[in-house]
Amino acid sequence: MNRGAFVGLALLCGLAFSGSGVAAPHPVSVDDLMKLRWIADVQISPDGERVAYVVSQPSVENNTHDAQLYIVPTAGGTPVRMTYGTRVFNVPRPSPHLRWSANGSSLAFVALVNDLPQVVSMPATGGEARALTTAKEGTAVYEWSPDGQRIAYIAPDPAPADEQSRKKDKTYVIEVDRNERRPRVWIQDVAGGDARAITPADQYVLGLSWSPDGSTVAYAASAVGGFNAQYHSKIYSVSAAGGAPKAIVDRRG
Give the pLDDT band (50/70/90) at residue 21: low
pLDDT at 7: 35
Residue 31, C-beta contacts closer than 8 angstroms, at least 6 positions apart: none
Residue at 245: amino acid letter: P
| Weakest mean pLDDT among 2-6, 85-89, 138-142, 177-181 | 2-6
The pTM of this model reads: 0.82
Residue 13 has pLDDT above 60, yes or no: no
Q: Which of 93-102, 115-124, 126-135, 223-232 has the lowest mean pLDDT?
A: 223-232
Coil/strand/helix, residue 228: helix
- How many CB atoms neighbour CB 175 within 10 A? 7
Residue 141, φ and ψ in degrees, nearest 5: -125, 125
Ramachandran area for residue 107 (φ above 0: left; ψ -120 to 50: alpha; else beta): beta
- For the segment 170-195, the average pLDDT, to the nearest whole number, is 84
* pLDDT band for position 177 (cuts 50, 70, 90): low
Band the pLDDT of 163: cuts 50, 70, 90. Answer: low
CA-wise closest residue to 144 among 121, 160, 165: 121
pLDDT for 74-102, tens place per residue?
A: 999 999 999 999 999 998 889 999 999 99
What is the torsion angle, in degrees rounded to the nearest 10, for the CA atoms of residue 95, residue 101, residue 105 and residue 109?
-20
Which whole number is the average pLDDT over 52-80?
A: 92
Ordered structural domains, the chain, with CATH: 27-131 (no CATH), 132-253 (2.120.10.30)
Closest C-alpha to 54, from 40, 73, 71: 40
Closest CA to 138 of 113, 107, 108: 113
Pick 211 or 164 by higher pLDDT. Answer: 211
Q: Is the pLDDT of residue 17 over 70?
A: no
H helix intervals, 109-242 = 161-168
